[in-house]
Amino acid sequence: MRDDTGVAARLPATVRRVVSLVPSLTEAVEVSAPGLVVGATAWCTHPTGLDVARIGGTKNPDVEAVVALGPDLVLANEEENRAVDLDALRSAGVPVWNTRVRTLDEAFGSLNQMLRVCGVGDPGWLLAAREAWDAVDVLTTGQERPRRAAVVPIWRRPWMALGADTFAGDVLRRLGVDNVLADSAERYPRFVPGELTSHDLVVLPDEPYAFGVDDGPEAFAGKDCVLVSGRHLTWYGPSLVEAAGVLRRQLESPVRAP
């Protein structure tokens, strides 16, 4: 079978052992089929209490440790993981399933295919997530509330933000928030806070950089700033069931920067 990136993966008849190199995919598989995941990164924090072998980070997995776990399949993402590590795993004879997700619709399709590859049918949470976001589309279309224009920082020192063609940007778009850097030539462009004037909102997630009430808003004087859950903004998995509700509430609770 071919993964989201078009690369063929030779799969066993039954997948019994999975190593995940992506936190959201770890949660998706473990919630759907408890016990199937035998290895995950140090950043795989969900589901809570996950007790599996830890094989390093998303950008620096211990390839030998992954191979030693004897996985039937390794789950990866084209953006989260390095091609050199995935190539090393394939060279060692380990099947790799590489996902590519840049919109909500792509997330639902990719998750459905990935779970089927793992031998999992249609989990209830995936249907619930689709229904939750379908409801958001209906609500957003019917509301008279004006759309917001936002910059979405993901890092500082240097300042970086969401740019073109990102999953998180599509999530915000579905919630009525337009990314002013969506037409950037880069997916994560650098920027200078004081030089951006076309936005009326600053969306500050708590990952990958842990923005907080005293770390971030002070750089955007006169702008409405909102602190949001990075997991609900950037993860695609069971968190999508509640993401729309969580993010809506957070987007409606701005903190005016001094």
**Both 70 and 159 in a single domain?**
no
**Both 96 and 167 in a single domain?**
no
Residue 195 domain-assigned (yes or no)? yes
Q: How many domains does the chain have?
A: 2
C-alpha distances (whole Å) from 85 to each of 44, 52, 57, 138, 205 are 18, 20, 11, 42, 28
Q: How far is C-alpha 179 from the chain's CA centre?
A: 17
CA distance 251 to 175: 9
**Both 82 and 182 in a single domain?**
no
CA distance 190 to 56: 28
According to the model, what pLDDT value does residue 194 have?
Answer: 86
**pLDDT over 80 at 139, yes or no:** no
CB-based contacts of 76, cutoff 8 Å, min separation 6:
21, 22, 86, 96, 97, 98, 99
Is the pTM value of this prediction over 0.85?
yes
Query: Could you read off the pLDDT of 143-197 as tens digits, one per residue?
Result: 667 889 999 999 999 999 999 999 999 999 999 999 999 999 999 999 999 888 8
Give the domain range for residue 110.
18-122
